[in-house]
Structure 1
Amino acid sequence: MELSTVWFILIAVLWIGYFTLEGFDFGVGMLLPILPKSDKQRRVMINTIGPVWDGNEVWVLTAGGATFAAFPEWYATLFSGFFLPLLLILLALIVRGLAFEYRHQRPEAAWHSWWDRAIVIGSYVPALLWGVAFANIVRGVPIDADKEFTGTLFTLLNPFGLLGGIVTLLLFMTHGAMFLALKTEGDLRERSRALSVKLGLGAAVAAVVFLVWTQILTGNTGSAVFFVLAALCLVGGIAMARMAREGWAFIGTFATIGLAVAGLFVALFPDVMPSSTSALYSLTTSNASSSHYTLTVMTIVAVIFTPIVLGYQAWTYWVFRKRIAEHHIPDAELEAVA
C-alpha cells in the first residue's frame, strides 16, 4: 500500500476521533439553554465535559497538521477556498474555550449568562459548519487547473451542504444528550435520556436522506456498507436509550458518527478534493501528497507517539468516569472564592 494511501486513512481516523469525541462536547454546549432548570444543573452539564473538552480538540489540530504535512496541495486548496467557514469555526472554538475558563471566575448571574451564550454559540457554529464543509468536499467544489478554488461562500451554501450541516448538528445534539444521560444523575439524567430519543429520531431522518443523496452522487458501494451500519447503530442507540441503557446508547451514537465519517472518506477516495469543474482537476492522494521521504518520517513519528497520546487520553476518561450530580457542585460564592 502506498504511503499516501496510508496517510489518507490516518487522516480519516483523526477526523473520526475528532467528531466522535468533540461531537458530544458540542452537543452538551448546544443543549445548555434547553435541558437545565437551574444554574447548578448548567454547571453540572459543563462539568461533565470540563476535564476532556480541550483534549478532544487536539484531534482536529492533529488532523490539520497531518493534512498540511502529508497533503500540502489539499491543505492549500481547502484552507484558501474554505477560508471564511474555517475562520468562523476557529473563532467559535476560541470563544467557547474562553467561556469554559472564565464562566466560574465570578458569581454574578449576568456574568454566567454571557459566558453561557458564548458556549452555546461556540458549539452551534462548528457543529453546523463542519457538516457543510465535509458535505461540499465529498460533493466536489469548483477547482481549476492550477488547483485553486474558484467558487465563493455561496457556492458552499448549496442544499446538499446545508443538509450535511443539519445532519452533523442533530447528530451531535443526540450524542451530547446520550453523554449527559450517561454522566449525570437524577432529573437531569432522565430528561437527557428522554430528549436523546426525540433528537435521535430527527437525526435519523435527516441522516438517511443525506446518506442516500451522498450515495446517489458518488455511487460508491463501499461507502454504502458504512452508511447502512451507521444507520443501524443509530437505531440501536435510540432503542438502548429508551431502555435506560445509557452506556450502550452512547456507544450507539459514537459508532454512528464514526461509521458515517468513515463512509464519507471511503466515498471520497482516491480523491481528497474532487473538482466539480473537471475530474482532471481533482486533487487525489497521488497528485496532492508530499514526497515519499516526508511521508516515511511522518509514519515513524506517528508509530512512536500515537500510542502515547491514545493512552493518556484513555487514562483521562478513566479518571473522570464517574457520574456528576448537583450535590457535587459547590455554591457559586464558594466556588468564586476558591
Structure 2
Amino acid sequence: MSLQEFWFILIGVLFTGYFVLEGFDFGVGMLMPILGKGSDARRRVVLNTIGPVWDGNEVWLLTAGGAMFAAFPEWYASLFSGFYIALLLVLVALILRICAIEYRSKIDDPKWRARCDIGIGIGSWIPALAWGWVFANVVRGVPLNEKKQITGSVWELLGPYALLGGLATGLLFALHGAVFLVLKTGGEVRDDAVRTVRLLLVPTAVVVGAFGVWTQLAYGTGWTWIPLVLAVIGLLIACAASFAHRDGWGFTGTTLTVAAATVLLFGSLYPNVLPSTISDLFDLTIDNASSTPYTLKVMSWAAVIVTPVVLAYQGWTYWVFRKRITVEQIPPPIGLPLQSALPVETAVPQDSSKD
C-alpha cells in the first residue's frame, strides 16, 4: 500500500467516524421539536443525550479536513473553493448550533430557550442535507478545468443524483438520531422515539436504497457491492430490533448503514479524489493531488501515535455517560426554588450535559 492510498483510506475512516457520530447528533437536533414537544423537560432530555459528546464528535470533521489539507492539498483547495458557498453555509449552521446548545441554559426564559431550539434545529438540518449533496457531487464529478478550478454555475451541481444524496443523508441521520434516542432515553420520550423510528424506517430505506443502487450502478466497482449489501443489512437489523425492543442492536444497525454508505462513496470515488466532468485529463487523483512523500511519511507516524489515544479517550467518554435519561431525572431550570429540585442522587449533572 502506498502512502497516498493509506491517507485516502484514513480520510475515509475519519469521515466515516464523523458521519456515524455526528450523524446521530444531527438526528437528535432534527427531531428535538417533535420528541421534545410538550414540555421543556422533554426537550432537555433529548438534548442531554448528546450533551457530553456532541463537541467531541465534531472534532472528527476538523481532523478529516486537516488531514485532507495536509495529505491532498490540491483536493482540499479545489473542493473548498468550488463548494465555498455550500461549505460556508454548513459552517455557519454548525456555529449557530454550537451557540444554541451552549447558551440555551444561560437565561431562564421560555422565549430564549425556544429561539435556541430553533437554532439547534437549523444547525442540524442544514449540515445533514448538505453533506449528502456535497459528497454526491464529488462522486459524480464536477466541472473541473485544467487549472484545477471548478467552473460553471451552482445549478450544474443541483442534479437529481446530488439532490437524492442530500435527501438520503437527511433521512438516514434522522433515523440514526431516533434510534440513538431510543437507546439513551426512558419513559415517555423513549416511547415516542420508538414510534418515530418505525415511521422513518420505510422512507429512509427507499431513499437510501435508491441512492445506494444509483451510486453502485453508475460509479461503483465490483467490490463496492459489499458495502451496499451491508448498508441494506444494517437497515434490516434496525427494523427488526425496533419491533423486538433490542435497542443496542438497533443502534448497531443504523451505525452499520451509515458506515457502509460512506465506504460505498469513497470506494466509488477511488482512485480519484475529485473527478472532472470536462475531461478525464483534468481528474484529481490520489497521485497528482497528494503532498510529497516526506510529508506523508511524517504525518503517518503522527497518526499512528496519536489516533489510538484519541479513540481510547472518546470511547471512555461514551462509557461514562452510557446510562439512560428520563424526564424525572431532569433538575429544574436555573432560577427556580431549590426545594423544587429532585434529590441529588437522581438528577443529571447540569454541567455535564451543557444544559
TM-score, length of structure 2 as denominator length: 0.93
Contact 2:45 2:326 in 1 (8 A): yes
> In percent, how many aligned pairs have the same letter?
54
- Aligned partner of 1:9 in structure 2 is 9
Q: 5+ unaligned residues in a row in structure 1: which ranges?
A: none
Matches within 5 A, 1:58-73: 58-73=59-74
The one-character-per-residue Cα deviations of 1:264-296 (angstroms, maximum 9, x if unpaired) are 111110000111111111100000000000000
Contact 1:141 1:151 in 2 (8 A): no
Contact 1:226 1:259 in 2 (8 A): yes
Contact 2:133 2:165 in 1 (8 A): yes
Amino acid at match of 2:24: F
Distance in 1 separating the partners of 2:224 and 2:336: 49
Matches within 5 A, 1:274-313: 274-313=275-314
| Shift, 1:151, TM fit | 2.5
- Name the SS for the 1:197 alignment partner: helix
- Name the SS for the 1:272 alignment partner: strand
- Aligned partner of 2:264 in structure 1 is 263
| Shift, 1:223, TM fit | 1.4
Change (3 A) 1:168 1:322: same
The one-character-per-residue Cα deviations of 1:174-203 (angstroms, maximum 9, x if unpaired) are 000000000000111011012112212111
Amino acid at match of 1:171: L
Distance in 2 separating the partners of 1:269 and 1:222: 12
Change (3 A) 1:69 1:47: same
| Shift, 1:118, TM fit | 0.1
Amino acid at match of 1:30: M
- Name the SS for the 1:221 alignment partner: coil
Contact 2:35 2:46 in 1 (8 A): no
Contact 1:171 1:200 in 2 (8 A): no
Change (3 A) 1:148 1:335: farther
Contact 2:220 2:264 in 1 (8 A): no
- Name the SS for the 1:181 alignment partner: helix
Contact 1:67 1:74 in 2 (8 A): yes
Amino acid at match of 1:172: F
Distance in 1 separating the partners of 2:97 and 2:7: 30
The one-character-per-residue Cα deviations of 1:95-153 (angstroms, maximum 9, x if unpaired) are 10001110011111100000000000000000000000000000111101111111322
| Shift, 1:219, TM fit | 4.1
Q: 5+ unaligned residues in a row in structure 2: which ranges?
A: 339-349, 351-355
| Shift, 1:327, TM fit | 1.6
- The aligned length equals 338
- Aligned partner of 2:347 in structure 1 is none
TM-score, length of structure 1 as denominator length: 0.98
Give the stretch that moved more between structures: 6-15 or 213-222: 213-222
Contact 2:181 2:190 in 1 (8 A): yes
Give the stretch that moved more between structures: 152-161 or 253-262: 152-161
| Shift, 1:211, TM fit | 1.1
Contact 2:25 2:54 in 1 (8 A): yes
- Aligned partner of 1:172 in structure 2 is 173
CA RMSD of aligned residues (A): 1.3
Amino acid at match of 1:13: V
Matches within 5 A, 1:1-338: 1-36=1-36, 37-334=38-335
The one-character-per-residue Cα deviations of 1:299-337 (angstroms, maximum 9, x if unpaired) are 000001000100110010011000011121111244799
Distance in 2 separating the partners of 1:336 and 1:93: 34
Distance in 2 separating the partners of 1:136 and 1:333: 46
Give the stretch that moved more between structures: 151-160 or 238-247: 151-160
Contact 1:84 1:153 in 2 (8 A): no
Distance in 2 separating the partners of 1:224 and 1:129: 25
